[in-house]
A = this chain, B = another copy of it.
Amino acid sequence: MKEIRYFYSPNASDLTELPSDEAQHAIRVLRLQVGDDIYLMDGQGMFYHAEVTLSVGKHCSYIIKEELPQTKTWLGRIHLAIAPTKMMDRMEWMLEKATEIGVDEVTMLLCQFSERKKIRTDRLDKIIVSAMKQSRKAWKPRLNDLTQFKDFIVQSRRGRKFIAHCYHDIEKVDLFEELQQVPQDEEITVLVGPEGDFSIDEVHFALEHGYESIALGSSRLRTETAGLMAVTMGQLSKRKL
């Protein structure tokens, strides 16, 4: 049986050929031929069953044979806002895994103790697309560019908002326990700090703006593990069974 090929094409139904990077992969790596079946994902809930009609040079054209609307497997929205780690590979695998497990939106935060102050959003976006295709996610997680902590906090936001931190003298609730009390279809936003944690000023600023102080269990987790744990707790609380 031939493996089913998935391609990401955000405007699949308006177009008749694959975006150039996907076309190159289709032609040079997969060596698709006229008549081959392909599947297109628009990242907005629709898959398309299509057939290759032309495969020449850098162009791969198709005709859509069937629309395949997908059903989201979880309710509400999961938004992770996280300070990127000094070592970018740790952030990259976190994004790959969060996409596989299921996340709706990720914002990279610039915090007081951030060691990394620049990110390449285009590179991270490619990792998300690759994980989305591999795990057949019908909705593409939205990735926001590096945002100043305080700018993020003052933005109006729906649903419940949480900040994970390591200060022992600020009372915390366990995120997973708390999520059992939150309606499944409610949006949640979880903040995870850099290696050196949020500053105490940042934590207070968030608490003053309606964020709830939380722990992600009792383990001492690295930034990227904490991010993934937050997404997993959200997912296990919001998934449809």
Contact = CB atoms under 8 A, between A and B. Distances in A.
Chain B CB within 10 A, most for which of A97, A174, A228: A97
Pairs of residues from A and B, 9 with the lowest C-beta to C-beta distance, nearest first? A73-B218, A135-B220, A100-B225, A136-B220, A232-B232, A97-B225, A100-B221, A102-B219, A135-B219
Interface in A214-241: 217-222, 225, 228-229, 232-233, 235-236, 239-241
Interface of A: 73, 93, 97, 100-102, 134-137, 174, 176-177, 217-222, 225, 228-229, 232-233, 235-236, 239-241
21 contacts: A73-B218, A73-B219, A93-B93, A100-B219, A100-B220, A100-B221, A100-B225, A101-B217, A101-B221, A101-B229, A102-B219, A134-B222, A135-B219, A135-B222, A174-B241, A177-B241, A217-B239, A218-B240, A228-B228, A232-B232, A236-B236
Contacts of A137: 219
A159 B233 CA distance: 25
Contacts of A235: 217
Contacts of A225: 97, 100-101
